[in-house]
Structure 1
Amino acid sequence: MTPVEIVGLAPTVAGAVLAALLVWLLVWTVLYVRADRMMRASMRQAIRVRSGWRRLARMQGLTVTDRTPTALAQVGAGVNGGQGKRPEPRVVVPKIRVRSDRFGVEVRAQTLPRVGLSDYQKAASYLADAWRCARVSVLPDGPGTVRIRGVRHDPLAASTEHVPSGEVPEVVSRWALGLDEYASDVVVSLAEVPGVTVAGLPGFGKTSLINKLVCDLAPSPAVQFAVADGKASTAAEGDYADVADRLFSFVGDDLAAGNELFSRMVELRRARAAAIRSALGVRNMWHCGPRASWPLVVLIIDEAHTFFREHKGSDPATKKLAALAAENARLVEDLVKKGRSVGILVILATQKATGDAIPTFIRDVCPVGLSFAQKTIEAAVAALGEDIRNWPDVSPVALQDPTYVGVAVMTVQGREGFTRVRTPYVDDAHTARIAAETAHLTRNPSALLNGTAGHGAEAA
């Protein structure tokens, strides 16, 4: 193509570029008009981030000076017979892609030689100021890329509500907890998990968190639930009244009834261990996943200290209670330590996860632990481990304000330190609706193993 032809195409190319720009502007305007107030603010923020990035990157030292001339510059020098001016060093600015949502912006930035993850993390506080964000986090996002998350408002301070869809979950081992402090989804895998501990002061979200899990998994016939509620005598009295129809077994605060339930669960664990090879063809249920004929069995022990607390006294009644508590601890230890491969998950909830509430030989083998607000650092350490002392800014002791009802602290795989999570509230009406719609799926796992119908709930 001759230079004249190239010049002749210039108006056509310019027109195409202008047309594309106008289409983009039209789409952006439509999205902006249809967005709510928070989303509009984020869209304007995204424009500021893009337009100011080159200048901000230079100011924060997130650039690299490349002193090697480009191929084009070398050709230019050759055309001038080597007498031309030496090409100036180039300042290379990382490329970015910006996405906005209701809470702020998400920026995926390129790494460069000598500008890596640690450099972005050091600049996080300055980026927060420049972008007018409450906080900014920087995480790896694959080779050569980092993910910079900026939020204008604290997602933890705003309560959220969850409306269960009633749809069958694609993966029953996926537990969607809520949003972290950067408004990112926090999801925990329950596959290969034998136990979960949930601690926190009364009224700060423990039961609502568990009810959400039940509501999300209840539409699946591959999950069955049992509850031992240490703060109620019957299902109608406690926090699990609305999901009672979806439980294959429920016991209240009676230690003997709890002991009977735990004994039946251990018998189920033993029967499954004996039958798993012939029934599933594997040694570990998670190698093929739960199914209606071999469901994931979730045992919820709320106010767990009721069933494990040591009773001191020499009278016959106290001795009997002490023996039951010790036996309960032994049975639940069996489930937590041996139930993983056969598809039994134990969730223990209590106010303080100290050794007298949940025996350490049970608590310390539960790989997933959460804590809502706590009054003392000792209670936080019991729930989350000694390392929480090194992270005072995210300690559950700082969550005692009513604003943080529903906020929990936990460790998340792949993240350093501890993460705060805003768990959503589930209205009792939604809980009752889901339980009523899925009550026909309730089966006794022991009856399934024996090949009998096994429908409905048991109560002790």
Structure 2
Amino acid sequence: MEAITGYAAYALPIATALVGVWLVWTAVRYVRADKGTRVSMRQAVRVRWGWVRLARMAGLTVTDKTPSLLAQITAQKDSPPPSPRVLTPKIKVKPDQYGVTVQARTLPQVGLEEYQKSARFLSDAWRCTRVSVLPDGPGKVVIRGVRSDPLTTPTRHRPTGRPPADLTRWELGVDEYAAKVCVSLANVPGVTVAGVPGAGKTSGVNKFVCDFAPSPAVQIATVDGKVSRASEGDYADLVKRMFAFCGDDLDEANALFKRLVELRKRRSATIRDVLGVKNMWHVGPSPEWPLTVLIIDEAHTFFREYKGSDTTTKRLAALTAENARLVEDLVKKGRSVGILVILISQKTTGDAIPTFIRDVCPIGLSFAQKTVEAAVAALGEDIRNWPDASPVTLQDPAYVGVAVMAMQGRPGYTRIRTPYVSDADAARVAEETSHLTSDPDLCLNALLRSTSRTTTPLPSLTK
């Protein structure tokens, strides 16, 4: 007992010191946090303190009539049975710029469905714009409450200039609950991006280029139907990091498509001998065998169906028909050899992007659209069943930069706020990474030579 009493004399100072350290740390975090996070930190305190009462009012508790083990041990023979216990799920609360994330336990008769039914009550009590409830492993749920709407809060992305850790991961932005949205590029042959002018299509693709430019295992070519020269338009600041670029000239675009189809054929013929696999994604991109990305902006310019009997019109019609055939080859056969095609158009209807190309692309994004028909063309017929997520509802200026897409593993459609990348940042990244630009044909030639194989190089296409 004397030893215990001696230790007790130190317990209070130690506990006081620990509490003091915790208070100081919390105060430092609060001072260093931005304005939105400070509000969320205060919100998190209210959530913790009011949880027991709120859970009872929302029906998220359960009554346990079985006495606890301690009550059974201490109960007297003739004493009345102990009162039933009301069990409340335990929670952990984490604040951020937009709101709070609450990790909660489940109880018998209080599971995922019960939490989802109570979401609107939690939203009102926590003063949130919206609340979502998702499973978080066995016996756990995660409740996400956002106080401010991430979709109407413009965000800005400043590229780090460092190579991405995972070349299969494309970070698009944040969803309506401020959760990061990423898609996998592994085994993806094509991506379609649709939306009215000024909705944010090109800005979203610019972020893709800026994020992947620092990697020598990614090489990019661009065909832009909005301009005539590389010094014009949205990609002028990024052209230094592109191994090929052409504008709205159909002959130049056709030559580039042919060149990439020949690259596809050479890769298909040599991949097993050189890489030892039938699918490049089994080993991943490398500087010797880079992921080759073809961006086709204003894609309808190169696939348009010309109608007329004069010589010029017939030639253009034949050229655009061949363009469609060549791009179809890249989309349908380029996946396993590391070729990705990104097609951008205001509408991805069949007259803008042929359906035999569009319907093979597994990833489709749509920024604001004016008609339901355009939304269906971009996202599929099922978007009619999700009117709240339709890109037709994104025509307000506050939603510039917001896209809709179907996410694998999620029901319905997800709305995503894509960040803005300034022209200065884009130019900086392109300048700093221009030395990494390499022609994939030359990379393949060097790789074949290193394996004692011969190859006939293709003619170079200047920018």
Normalising TM by the smaller chain, what interval? Answer: over 0.9
Tell me the equivalent position of 1:130: 125
CA distance in 1: counterparts of 2:81 and 2:461, whole angstroms? 86
Residue 194 of structure 1 aligns with an amino acid whose one-letter code is: P
Paired residues, what number?
Answer: 454
- Is 1:121 the equivalent of 2:116? yes
Residue 39 of structure 1 aligns with an amino acid whose one-letter code is: T
Deviation of 1:7 after TM superposition, in Å, equals 7.2
- Is 1:76 the equivalent of 2:71? no
TM-score by length of 2: 0.94
Q: Deviations over 1:244-268 (max 9, x none)?
A: 1111111211222211111111111
- Is 1:35 the equivalent of 2:7? no
CA distance in 2: counterparts of 1:125 and 1:446, whole angstroms? 57
Deviation >3 Å, runs of 4+ = 4-19, 457-460
Matches within 5 A, 1:35-434: 35-77=33-75, 80=76, 82-434=77-429
Residue 370 of structure 2 aligns with an amino acid whose one-letter code is: K
Residue 28 of structure 1 aligns with an amino acid whose one-letter code is: T
Aligned 8 A contact 2:296 2:343 in 1: yes
Aligned 8 A contact 1:64 1:113 in 2: yes
Aligned 8 A contact 1:298 1:346 in 2: yes
Residues 58 and 8 of structure 1: is their aligned pair in 2 closer, same or farther, counting only changes over 3 Å? farther
Identity %: 66
Aligned 8 A contact 1:227 1:247 in 2: yes
Deviation of 1:238 after TM superposition, in Å, equals 2.1
Deviation of 1:400 after TM superposition, in Å, equals 0.7
CA distance in 2: counterparts of 1:397 and 1:300, whole angstroms? 25
Q: Deviations over 1:201-251 (max 9, x none)?
A: 111111111111111111110000001111111111221111111111112
Q: Which moved more, 1:219-228 or 1:237-246?
A: 237-246
1:182 alignment partner, SS class: coil
Residue 267 of structure 1 aligns with an amino acid whose one-letter code is: E
Q: Which moved more, 1:39-48 or 1:255-264?
A: 255-264
Deviation of 1:37 after TM superposition, in Å, equals 2.1
Deviation of 1:154 after TM superposition, in Å, equals 0.8
1:242 alignment partner, SS class: coil
Residue 395 of structure 1 aligns with an amino acid whose one-letter code is: S
CA distance in 2: counterparts of 1:366 and 1:6, whole angstroms? 71
Residue 186 of structure 1 aligns with an amino acid whose one-letter code is: V
CA distance in 1: counterparts of 2:351 and 2:379, whole angstroms? 16
Question: Structure 2 regions of 5+ residues with no counterpart?
Answer: 450-456
Aligned 8 A contact 1:308 1:328 in 2: yes
TM-score by length of 1: 0.95
Deviation of 1:413 after TM superposition, in Å, equals 2.3
Aligned 8 A contact 1:235 1:252 in 2: yes
Q: Which moved more, 1:321-330 or 1:94-103?
A: 321-330
Residue 354 of structure 1 aligns with an amino acid whose one-letter code is: T
CA distance in 2: counterparts of 1:14 and 1:391, whole angstroms? 59
Q: Which moved more, 1:90-99 or 1:309-318?
A: 309-318
Residue 59 of structure 1 aligns with an amino acid whose one-letter code is: M
Residue 334 of structure 1 aligns with an amino acid whose one-letter code is: D
Residue 39 of structure 2 aligns with an amino acid whose one-letter code is: A
Q: Which moved more, 1:393-402 or 1:19-28?
A: 19-28
Deviation of 1:8 after TM superposition, in Å, equals 7.2
Deviation of 1:289 after TM superposition, in Å, equals 0.5
CA distance in 2: counterparts of 1:66 and 1:268, whole angstroms? 69
Deviation of 1:321 after TM superposition, in Å, equals 1.4
CA distance in 1: counterparts of 2:98 and 2:192, whole angstroms? 30
Q: Deviations over 1:331-363 (max 9, x none)?
A: 111111111110000000000111111111111
CA distance in 2: counterparts of 1:68 and 1:18, whole angstroms? 37
CA distance in 1: counterparts of 2:31 and 2:440, whole angstroms? 53
Aligned 8 A contact 1:251 1:459 in 2: no
CA distance in 2: counterparts of 1:268 and 1:324, whole angstroms? 20
CA distance in 1: counterparts of 2:305 and 2:114, whole angstroms? 52
Q: Which moved more, 1:296-305 or 1:170-179?
A: 170-179
CA distance in 2: counterparts of 1:100 and 1:292, whole angstroms? 41
Deviation of 1:408 after TM superposition, in Å, equals 0.7
CA distance in 1: counterparts of 2:332 and 2:64, whole angstroms? 57
CA distance in 1: counterparts of 2:462 and 2:84, whole angstroms? 78
Tell me the equivalent position of 2:452: none
- C-alpha RMSD of the superposition: 1.9
Aligned 8 A contact 2:256 2:461 in 1: no
Residue 276 of structure 1 aligns with an amino acid whose one-letter code is: I
